[in-house]
Amino acid sequence: MPDTATPSVLFVCVHNAGRSQMAAAFLTHLAGDRVQVRSAGSAPADTVNPAVVEAMAEAGIDIRAEVPKVLTAEAVQASDVVITMGCGDTCPVFPGKRYLDWQLPDPAGQGVEAVRPIRDEIEARVRRLIDDIAAVGLPRTL
């Protein structure tokens, strides 16, 4: 059962193999246990994109052990903020949740050179998200 005193964020993309994995890893790295982080995909891949794993390792974050997860209504219901990255209408919507849509290129099939700018943009957005969550007064600030 989630700790309701801790803000929770769910990152969703189609395959949960790139963008949502990077966002979840950055938020976990930057906020630690001050936020509950989830990621999922509407059609999860079998593994995390190797170029994404390499790009995150360059940023000092090891996501080799991460596994793509399927998006569930329960994960959405348990989250305060849901950030979609290309999952479109497949993401369930519940009242009282804050929804954001981050338009970012899909790193699927791209090499690490193409993933780096996506990674850097995700890190910048996650840093702004931390400030934003604190400003909107979720149960505990980050």
Q: What is the pLDDT of residues 40-53, one digit of tens each?
A: 998 999 999 999 99
Catalytic residue among 10, 12, 13, 63: 13
Structure tokens at 38: 């989830």
Q: Is 87 a catalytic residue?
A: yes
Q: Where are the domains of the chain?
A: 8-137
Task: Report, as an integer, the average pLDDT of 129-135.
Answer: 81
Q: Is 13 a catalytic residue?
A: yes
62: amino acid identity, one letter: D
As a whole number of angstroms, the distance between CA 78 and CA 118 comes to: 27
pLDDT for 66-114, tens place per residue?
999 999 989 999 999 999 997 665 666 777 788 899 999 999 999 999 9
Catalytic residue among 52, 76, 81, 91: 91
Q: Tell me which residue of 74, 114, 111 sits closest to 94, measured CA to CA.
A: 74
| Average model confidence (pLDDT) across the chain | 88
Q: Is 55 a catalytic residue?
A: no
Please report which confidence band the pLDDT of residue 3 belongs to, taking 50, 70 and 90 as the band edges: very low
The answer, yes or no, to whether residue 2 has pLDDT greater than 50, is no
Q: Tell me which residue of 63, 73, 56 sits closest to 122, measured CA to CA.
A: 56
The answer, yes or no, to whether residue 122 has pLDDT greater than 60, is yes
Structure tokens at 69: 């997860």
Residue 124: CB atoms within 10 A of its CB come to 11
The answer, yes or no, to whether residue 137 has pLDDT greater than 60, is no
As a whole number of angstroms, the distance between CA 131 and CA 126 comes to: 9
Residue matched to tokens 């890893």: 25
Please report which confidence band the pLDDT of residue 54 belongs to, taking 50, 70 and 90 as the band edges: very high
Catalytic residue among 23, 56, 81, 87: 87
The answer, yes or no, to whether residue 140 has pLDDT greater than 60, is no
Give residue 84's region: left, alpha or beta (phi > 0; psi -120 to 50). beta
- Give residue 90's pLDDT: 61
